[in-house]
A and B are shown apart, each in its own frame.
Chain A
């Protein structure tokens, strides 16, 4: 499997605070990878280090070439959508489109025309007058029209309503992703991206806790539900999390187990995340 991003020994300090410590990661081509972590876990810092926006220790390669060597040319291959709607409010929508088109040699004019025609974005309006959802949509469309190989998203749907969130991920899957493209999505809203992810990385306090194929991960955990009187049987398997409701006890355990009289369910990514991060 070809890895498009290789991170070795990445460490980042903000004065007295260590934001990332000795992070090693390999991101394969053609995958949608979720970078999941709590607020302040180091997700945004990791993405900004990837783009060489921050000083750091360690090595980061894209397509086998260090980010230091890529310099600005990296942005012809990699696009980034930050956690805030970071477009310039002084420009109009059309001026922002013209700017991005003029700056990017990989700009796909046909695709851009098709995407923006469908988008119903008000081209003559200033960006500052758009809603947060519209700004994010504009940012995504600009990024999609750039025809890059890797897309880095940092909490892209934060603060958006459910309609915009759905539209965002539909566009991402429909217009960007294929077997040659790679998407790395950072979010703490784990449930929101569960359906689209193929791989997950759990990050906590600057450490990578886990990096796995999502299906494989789900198969390696089980949710077991037993009546209250069988709680001790469940506890024998040392569940990582336990909840009680309506006379039943639910526990998340690592591996597949067989417990007579129990109900089984596939764990959600949120359940596994909480279990791994709190371990």
Chain B
């Protein structure tokens, strides 16, 4: 347990700034939005209307759900940019032997790296979401009749679950790219998938579309399950989590983790 705590902490310390960048960007955007709102309020009291929403409390839930989705995109973008570093940075910095000389099981090492790459930022996102939900509710209280923090937090939580699903699929893929490619992992990984997709299209054309090869990017998207964006006015927990395709996402994530770890192990021995 002591080792696990130590490893989690050191992985965080090694990439502290990359975890916090999205938070600073969101904080900056929020500050700008609040300033804009303040100016608009001074110039002319704004009239906020969310069309089709009968209940203000429901609009708080949807507002926070949508906000979390936007925040999640920023976090995912940084996760993609950080794909290169998750399994390659220590080798580049020449500190890999120091970490390999510690008495710790290989799978624990890769497990911690995987967790920190894929899910650590989700904790920050949750924190940012909760703070933003309070700000959103307090600011909204000036314009709507009531303080609907419960619904705002519920929307935050649903948005966070949605992010977890996205992070699980996209982050696992990035982790695999990081193991396969020593440099420009995200770019080369995406290019490899694009080439594979192109090959599938060519094969299908040769066989006059008599065989049905999967569309890679669409298939990846399906593993996230229902994101509730089509029925946003009735978004709820059952809609976000009650989709069997998430199970395929879990299996995909596990396969990515195991494959990436084995490739990393093979590569590490090839010094």
Which residues in A have some Cβ–Cβ distance to B below 8 Å? Answer: 48, 51, 53-55, 71-76, 79-80, 82, 84-91, 95, 98-105, 139
Contacts and interface: CB of A to CB of B under 8 A. Distances in A.
B14 A91 contact: yes
28 contacts: A51-B101, A53-B97, A54-B271, A55-B270, A71-B105, A71-B106, A72-B102, A73-B103, A75-B101, A82-B98, A86-B94, A86-B95, A86-B96, A86-B97, A88-B99, A89-B93, A90-B13, A90-B15, A91-B10, A91-B14, A95-B13, A98-B6, A98-B9, A99-B9, A103-B3, A103-B103, A104-B103, A105-B103
Nearest to A85: B94
Contact of A103 (B15, B93, B97, B104): B104
Contact of B103 (A72, A89, A101, A139): A72
Contact of A102 (B6, B90, B94, B268): B6
Given A55-B270, A103-B3, A103-B7, A88 B104 contact: no
B95 A80 contact: no
B2 interface: yes
* Shortest beta-carbon contacts, A-B, top 6: A102-B6, A75-B103, A88-B95, A103-B102, A76-B103, A99-B10
Interface string B71-105: 00000000000000000001001111111111111
Contacts of A100: 102
B93 A88 contact: yes
A103 B13 contact: no
Contacts of A54: 269-271
Nearest to B14: A90
B264 to A, nearest CB: 14
Contacts of B7: 102-103
Contacts of B271: 48, 53-54
B97 A80 contact: yes
Contact of B106 (A72, A88, A102): A72
Given A54-B269, A84-B94, A90-B93, A99 B6 contact: yes
Nearest to B269: A55
Contacts of A86: 94-98
A76 B105 CA distance: 12
B5 interface: yes
